[in-house]
Copies of this chain bind each other. A is one copy, B any other.
């Protein structure tokens, strides 16, 4: 993988000491906030945990695997884009627990030829994402800078609960499945980014293509909707990082029930992607049902709950047919990572995904799937 950068001018990280690099990085980053008791500069940061507990999540983005600096379509992933995406996917995990993000530590692994400007752009993108996504209590409190052959960033985010934490396992039969955010945009955007110019995606209206590519490069999960859903009584919740079918299956399995998606409720999502699907011969239903990385929120509420703004009902929960679903044992290991073929745990208008598509589909994203 060639490691190209937009700005070959200016110093690279190999020309600076670690301290100088931090002197460039930290002033651009948001390092103060209401929960920061001790910020960058000591062995540890100290973060307030108002309720006596803290929620905690971590995610890594690696060049060549999770993003490219230069895409076949001609778009670039800038440092600011990666800062935004790194923030967004971690903030969405905190939101998916019904919590409010409080602090971030970031570890950057950088090739020596990385422009310093890229690093400060990253810090700026991270801080912009806090603002734009409404994570106004969140600050960068520490981290680690190291060298490597492969550009890679890992963020760990803490959050404070506004209710008891909302897990995957609390959904009841009779509950209503709701969603906030986009579905399929990041997956369609990935295809657009991977399509050279000239190519099939030239037939897609430029504005739509641009919006979809942006959804992949800097997703905008509904971070403030997580705590709103918790306050509205959400009984189970997660963010959709690996595709709707796969992630709904996780809630179904963890809660020991069956989920049926309502096709008509998904039609607006499908329709928003239809012009792209028609132009490139793609299936908008597949993007909506199986596309990952949108980081919208999927939750289960008691029926007749008042839905927060931006939240729409998209399905319902029913008792599992005997033998079809492994009941949630509380031992469900692995954030977004069980190998869980959707099987009959999730249906679309009463049909399995195989019946729905008329063929076998990969029901979501797996980092290691052979």
A158 and B54 contacting across the interface, CB-CB below 8 Å: yes
Give every chain B residue within 8 A of A16 (Cβ-Cβ).
Answer: 368, 370
B46 close to A56 (CB less than 8 A):
yes
The 8 A CB mask of A59-76 against B (1 = contact, 0 = none) is 110101110000000000
Q: Which of B46, B52, B154, B334 touches A50 (beta carbons < 8 Å)? A: B52
CA distance A68 to B55 in the complex (A): 34
Asked whether any CB of chain B lies closer than 8 Å to the CB of A45, the reply is yes
Interface centre among A141, A156, A237 (most CB of B within 10 A): A156
Across the interface, do A65 and B147 meet the contact criterion of CB distance under 8 Å?
yes
A243 within 8 A of B: no
Residue numbers in B under 8 Å from A57 (CB-CB): 43-45, 105, 142
A97 touches B (CB below 8 Å): yes
Known: A45-B55, A46-B165, A159-B44. A146 touches B62 (CB 8 A): yes
Q: For residue A370, which residue of chain B has the nearest CB?
A: B15
Stretch at the interface among A19-27, A127-135, A209-217, A346-354: A19-27
Report Cα–Cα, A45/B49, bound state, in Å: 14
- A39: nearest residue on chain B (CB-CB)? B333
Residue of B whose beta carbon sits closest to that of A141: B56
Residues on B with beta carbons closer than 8 Å to the beta carbon of A145: 337, 367-368
B residues less than 8 Å from A336 (CB atoms): 43
A332 at the interface (CB under 8 A from B): yes
Q: Please, which residue of chain B has its CB at the minimum distance from the CB of A95?
A: B43
How far is A65 from B54 in the complex, measured between Cα atoms in Å? 33
From residue A31, how far is it (CB to closest CB) to chain B in Å? 8
Q: State whether B165 touches A335 (Cβ < 8 A).
A: no
Establish whether residues A103 and B56, one from each chain, have CB atoms under 8 Å apart when the complex forms. yes
Which residues of the partner chain B approach A107 to less than 8 Å between Cβ atoms?
A: 58-60, 154
A14 at the interface (CB under 8 A from B): yes
| Cross-chain contact B52 with A45 (CB below 8 angstroms) | no
Q: Closest approach, in angstroms, between the C-beta of A60 and any C-beta of chain B?
A: 4
B105 contacts A43, C-beta separation under 8 Å: no
Interface digits, A24-50 against B, CB 8 Å rule (1 contact, 0 not)?
Answer: 001000010000011011111111111
A49's partner among B14, B53, B109 (CB-CB below 8 A) is: B53
List the B side residues contacting A333 at CB < 8 Å: 22-23, 26, 31, 40-41
What are the residues of chain B within 8 A of A335 when measuring CB–CB? Answer: 40-43, 142-144
A18 to B337, CA, bound (A): 5
Judge whether A93 is part of the interface by a CB distance below 8 angstroms. Answer: yes
Q: Is A206 an interface position by the 8 A CB rule?
A: no
Do the beta carbons of B156 and A156 come within 8 Å of each other? yes
Cβ–Cβ < 8 Å partners of A337 in chain B: 18-19, 21-22, 145
**A149 sits at the interface (CB 8 A):** yes
Cα A12 to Cα B176 in complex, Å, equals 41
Q: A368–B15 Cα gap in the complex (Å)?
A: 8
Once the chains bind, are B105 and A156 in contact (CB under 8 Å)? yes
Known: A42-B169, A60-B107. 7 other contacts (CB 8 A): A16-B370, A19-B366, A20-B339, A46-B97, A46-B161, A60-B144, A105-B156
List, sorted by A's number, 7 A–B pairs whose CB atoms are closer than 8 Å.
A19-B337, A19-B366, A38-B167, A43-B336, A44-B97, A59-B107, A154-B154
